């Protein structure tokens, strides 16, 4: 089974592989470069969803013939007075769409102020400097630092893809 991820992020590719291997054997996961079409740090569920949908639905144009297409997009959303970070996953097979969301966590206020209007490169540097660790987003992610390694960005993203796959692994309920 070929699964194409609309990103070349190692975290997103590994999360997709882990999620699909939860349900299927003989899974090949390939990452391709597809623009999200949204801000580097989406500021609403709607914007993150749009980014994930763009990644999943534009991937067949670049890599036709896969069994599934996956888009993952992290983002911030306001819940009460807090900004919460979470991952949204979209899985597409033929014309069917599955949607999943990761666990979320409060974004530290100071970090939010550093990244809210930043470009991707500037925001990544700000995150690295805030946590005093290189390549945070390419590794354990802020959640990994905040939990002392008990959860990682890959783990959170895997959970989002697993949830998006429910549409396909339990079709009798949809």
User: What's the pLDDT tens digit per position in 22-74?
Assistant: 999 999 999 999 999 999 899 999 999 999 999 999 999 999 999 999 999 99
* Domain spans in the chain, listed from the N-terminal domain onward: 2-173
Q: How far apart are the first and last CA of the chain?
A: 23
Q: Which residue's entry shows tokens 């970070």?
A: 85
In this prediction, residue 118 carries a pLDDT of 81
Place of tokens 């949830």: 163
Q: Give the pLDDT mean for 124-128.
A: 92
Q: Which residues contact 65 (CB under 8 A, 6 or more apart)?
A: 2
- Its pTM stands at 0.95
d(Cα 77, Cα 119) in Å, to the nearest integer? 18
Q: What is the mean pLDDT of the chain?
A: 96
What are the beta bridge partners of residue 82? Answer: 79
| Cβ(159)–Cβ(100) below 8 Å | yes
List the CATH code of the domain at 2-173.
Answer: 3.90.950.10
Examine the pLDDT at 146 and tell me if it is beyond 90.
yes
Number of C-beta neighbours around residue 150 at 10 A: 10
Tell which wins on pLDDT, 32 or 120.
32
């Amino acid at each position: 089974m070929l699964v194409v991820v609309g990103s070349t992020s190692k975290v997103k590719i590994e999360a997709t592989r882990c999620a699909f291997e939860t349900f299927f054997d003989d899974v090949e996961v390939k990452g391709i470069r597809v623009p999200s079409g949204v801000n580097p740090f989406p500021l609403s569920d709607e914007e993150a969803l749009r980014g994930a949908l763009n990644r999943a639905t534009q991937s067949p144009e670049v890599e036709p013939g896969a069994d599934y297409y996956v888009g993952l997009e992290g983002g911030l959303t306001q819940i009460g007075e807090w900004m919460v970070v979470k991952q949204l996953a979209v899985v597409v097979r033929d014309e069917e769409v599955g949607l999943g969301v990761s666990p979320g966590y409060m974004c530290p206020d100071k970090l939010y102020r550093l990244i809210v209007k930043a470009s991707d490169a500037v925001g990544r540097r700000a995150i690295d400097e805030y946590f005093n660790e290189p390549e945070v987003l390419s590794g354990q992610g802020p959640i990994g630092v905040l939990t002392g390694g008990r959860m990682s960005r890959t783990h959170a993203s895997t959970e989002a893809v697993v949830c998006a796959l429910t549409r396909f692994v339990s079709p009798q309920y949809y």
